[in-house]
Structure 1
Amino acid sequence: MQTTSLTVSAPNQFIERNGRRLAYRRFGAGQPILFCNRFRGDLDTWDPAFLDALAAQGFDIIIFDYSGLGLSTGERTYNPLVLAKDVIDLLDALELPQVVLGGWSVGGLVAQVVFATAPQRLSHLVLLGTNPPGELPKMAEQLFYDLAGKPENDFDDYVQLFFEPRSAASRQAAADSFARLQLRQTERSVPVSGEWAGSLLAATGGKPRSNFFPAPAVLEALKHTTLPILHIGGDHDISFPVENWYALNEQLPTMQLHTFPQAGHGPHQQYPEASAQTIATFVRTATATPQPAAVQSQTVAS
């Protein structure tokens, strides 16, 4: 029986690629699964209970800091087209021809760009609390912009951003998750600058940006793919409402939607073991087949 958290004890590692250093951690054994992080996320914002549960399900876990953020060097940005290059460079450096690719929030946009531009590198796509491409029937709540743009976020912000504060059970799950995020005491990553991140949100005028990434090309790829895709969401996500995925019912042939009740933007932080089991079952049972030629040749302009 595992008593030590693999997530907490995993050492920092680095690869040099295309003029910058990418920091990553890798632990577990089995099928490789690589995760792209959320807005203002770093190596230490993934809940250890979630990643440990995935490792126990037989996954080789890889998490990393985007270029210029956390412990990585290079130019910092949240442009998904640019961040997608981090994923490809990391896969190449680690000599991984194909992985399960996951993405949380903004990381889900990054993962979708990788999916649309290099589908041969993916066996499955796992999205956590993110948006589909294109025009959105339900936009983010103003509360997200008010909190995500603060110079520093405290525990109360964590509850409101990623959980459902109206639910006592969700608030308790937030407290448990927040405590787990503090378990690592050494070699922690560097938090993303709140001033810089806040300036990005301020530049939008506090309004959502539906054109944040190449939506038409990505949406076409989603509509014509044979790659298995899973989205795990909460029923009250103030950032990327899960209703936007349900609006695409019958248009996405391989999409599976799993929505947790009384949950917010961090469903896998609130339900770590259940989320890991859902992902493991999905990867084990959803058949990955070769991409159609039309999708394999898909390009997305930078």
Structure 2
Amino acid sequence: MKPAAFLWLLLTSALSWTSHAADRGAAISAAAAATRYVTVAGDKIAYRRIGHGPTIILANRLRGTLDTWDPLFLDRLAAQYTVVTVDYPGIAYSEGKLPDNMADAAKFIDDFANAIKAERFVLLGWSWGGLVAQTYLLDHPQRVTHAILIGTNPPGQNEIPLQQVFLDRAFKPVNDLADEEVLFFEPASEASRAQAKASHTRIYARSDVAARIPSTPEEFAPYFKAAEGFRQDAEGRRDRLAQARTPILVISGDHDTSTAGQNWFPLIGKMQDAQYIFFSKTGHAPQHQHPVLISNYIHSFLSASH
């Protein structure tokens, strides 16, 4: 081979490798991911995308923002999937108005998926986002390949209500680590408190995280109204969920003072294609207490169920 041809081969191989690495998003972590914007129903909506592979869209909790997901959990998922986080309308980096009913919140997810050109995807919902995810998979079953429900309640009336100890801290304008231990972890467990501190440190490595978290009664009101409608269940979602054919993974902690995992016990045996993981000494954010283990469970679920 002539020297010029050899050099050209080396150059094109290097460019090909560089392009492949970029496509995989290998250099982008959740902590460093840039905020992107897309227009949804006339509103400028903020989202982030990391990883490579089948798409997982994450629906956030009450008061959750792009910044409040544990980046280690996102990074572990992004090793095998395209992970998309999004701010609801009117929340944090997004413009617009937060929907005050679950049907409209689910429609937002559908419109957002269209805007980012995600035809089929996995939908993961945490807490309030789990209510959104359940509504979406019932309203748009053709688009969701799998649903993952973390720290959330099923539709309708549930035996164990939200507890006062959660309410006492949930709506402070700013929650510190001590609040988070109560809200999302198991404060009686030394191991859980240690994981709370580690997760808090990872999340707050970004600047100005607290500044964008909803903090006023006016911002809370649409969350409450939508959740109450989900609980009243005039649409019969509880019965419809039991008949849903979409593979569903439910992940709960045994010390969830907001959406008790035990509320799934009457329903889980009636569901058509569901798996249930129940963690001991774990609170409302099992994916932040066990980010590596839960990402592995999610991969096993997605790999095994079709």
Query: TM-score of the superposition, structure 1-length normalised?
Result: 0.87
Residue 261 of structure 1 aligns with which residue?
280
Cα distance change, pair 200–89 in 1 and its aligned pair in 2 (3 A): closer
Q: What is the identity percentage for the equivalent residue pairs of Structure 1 and Structure 2?
A: 37
Answering whether residue 53 of structure 2 is matched by residue 34 of structure 1, we say no
Cα distance change, pair 91–189 in 1 and its aligned pair in 2 (3 A): farther
User: Shift in Å at residue 215 of structure 1?
Assistant: 5.9
More helix as a share of residues: 2
Question: Equivalent of 2:251, from 228, 232, 238?
Answer: 232
Aligned residue type for 1:7: A
Deviations 1:138-187 (A, max 9, x none): 11111122211222211111110000000000000000000000122489
Distance 2:230 2:39 in 1: 31
Question: Equivalent of 1:248, from 257, 267, 271?
Answer: 267
Deviations 1:98-156 (A, max 9, x none): 10000000000001111111011100000010000111011111112221122221111
Residue 104 of structure 1 aligns with which residue?
126
Residue 212 of structure 2 aligns with which residue?
190
Distance 1:215 1:236 in 2: 29
The gaps in structure 2 that reach 5 residues or longer are 1-24
Cα distance change, pair 195–210 in 1 and its aligned pair in 2 (3 A): closer
Cα distance change, pair 189–221 in 1 and its aligned pair in 2 (3 A): farther
The number of equivalent residue pairs is: 282
Aligned residue type for 2:251: I
| SS of equivalent residue, structure 2 residue 131 | helix
Q: With CA pairs under 8 Å and 6+ residues apart, which has the higher RCO, 1 or 2?
A: 1
Aligned residue type for 1:38: R
Question: Equivalent of 1:25, from 41, 48, 58?
Answer: 48
Question: Equivalent of 1:71, from 85, 93, 96?
Answer: 93
Aligned residue type for 1:137: E
User: Shift in Å at residue 212 of structure 1?
Assistant: 4.1
Question: Equivalent of 2:176, from 130, 148, 154?
Answer: 154
Residue 294 of structure 1 aligns with which residue?
none
Residue 33 of structure 2 aligns with which residue?
10
Distance 2:290 2:259 in 1: 18
Distance 1:281 1:117 in 2: 26
**Alignment check: 8 A CA contact 2:70 2:202 kept:** yes
Question: Equivalent of 2:69, from 32, 46, 56?
Answer: 46
Question: Equivalent of 2:236, from 217, 221, 237?
Answer: 217
Distance 2:26 2:210 in 1: 21
Cα distance change, pair 152–195 in 1 and its aligned pair in 2 (3 A): farther
CA RMSD, Structure 1 to Structure 2 (Å): 2.4
**Alignment check: 8 A CA contact 1:236 1:262 kept:** yes
Larger CA Rg, structure 1 vs 2: 2
**Alignment check: 8 A CA contact 1:133 1:215 kept:** no
Answering whether residue 166 of structure 2 is matched by residue 144 of structure 1, we say yes
Distance 1:177 1:215 in 2: 38
Residue 293 of structure 1 aligns with which residue?
none
**Alignment check: 8 A CA contact 2:100 2:223 kept:** no
Residue 302 of structure 2 aligns with which residue?
283
Distance 1:203 1:92 in 2: 26
Distance 1:187 1:175 in 2: 16
Query: TM-score of the superposition, structure 2-length normalised?
Result: 0.86
**Alignment check: 8 A CA contact 1:136 1:210 kept:** no
